[in-house]
């Protein structure tokens, strides 16, 4: 626990310095995930959830089949990030990778990313994203089949319908899936053209260093980090 606390202090310092001047304003809280605004970024691959004026932006790189991503989303800092997004402290962005299909076989990651893109079209991305990770099949099992993805979509009120169902069955957004994977790979930079690994978090444009990744598994520490970055960002906004 002491190591985690030291990690959050170091990470917060690095990220707070990088945050200066990047965000301004205060957002009103949202009552539920259903109310969160969602949009596709101008780059055509980044999914943005939450208030655009939130002082902190957390950009996540995830693969739907990644068990470590599932751990982050369900028992790690993911629930605290959702709370911060609802409160308006943070905006969450996603780049969805699908490399695990090639590593372990199958097409579940690609199908899940396609289904998530279809959910975004219905303004149900955040709700469906949460449901997928809460019901993630084992990594070695190619469990995200069309039938299972549609079954899970039934847990999101208003998501199932002819357009969504057809998009899932026909891989309507296969071009998005390919482009999103390429964006993930590009994020790895010259040092790792395969991508930065999942999950990876970038806070206000600065990637959390690997040596401080412990913060992703400690909700309290993650919240402390977000609040530290938000305070600096708001202070900078007030100065200008």
Tens of pLDDT, residue by residue over 43-63, are 999 999 999 999 999 999 999
Averaged confidence pLDDT in the chain:
90
H helices present in 59-124, as ranges: 67-74, 78-87, 100-104, 108-121
How many other CB atoms are there within 10 angstroms of residue 87's CB atom?
Answer: 16
pLDDT value for 109 = 98
pTM of the complete model beyond 0.85? yes
Phi, psi angles (nearest 5°) of residue 118 = -65, -35
Count the residues in the chain: 240
**Is residue 141 scored above 90 in pLDDT?**
yes
Residues 6+ apart with CB under 8 A from 1: none
């Amino acid at each position: 626990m002491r190591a985690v606390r030291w990690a959050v202090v170091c990470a917060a310092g690095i990220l707070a310095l990088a945050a200066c001047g990047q965000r301004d304003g205060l957002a009103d809280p949202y009552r539920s995930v259903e109310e969160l605004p969602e949009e596709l970024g101008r780059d055509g691959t980044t999914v943005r959830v939450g208030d655009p004026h939130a002082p902190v932006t957390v950009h996540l790189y995830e693969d739907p089949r990644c068990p470590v991503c599932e751990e982050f989303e369900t028992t790690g800092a993911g629930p605290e990030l959702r709370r911060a997004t609802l409160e308006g402290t943070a905006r969450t962005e996603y780049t969805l990778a699908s490399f695990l299909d090639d590593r372990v076989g199958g097409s579940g990651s690609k199908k899940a990313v396609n289904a998530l893109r279809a959910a975004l079209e219905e303004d149900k991305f955040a709700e469906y994203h949460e449901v997928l990770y809460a019901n993630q099949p084992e990594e070695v099992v190619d469990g995200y089949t069309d039938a299972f993805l549609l079954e899970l979509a039934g847990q999101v009120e208003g998501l199932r319908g002819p357009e969504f169902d057809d998009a899932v069955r026909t891989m309507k957004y296969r071009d998005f899936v390919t482009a999103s994977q390429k964006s993930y790979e590009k994020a790895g930079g010259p040092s790792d053209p395969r991508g930065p690994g999942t999950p990876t978090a970038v806070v206000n444009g600065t990637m959390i260093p690997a040596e401080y990744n412990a913060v992703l598994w400690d909700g309290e520490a993650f919240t402390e980090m977000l609040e530290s970055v938000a305070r600096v960002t708001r202070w900078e906004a007030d100065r200008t």
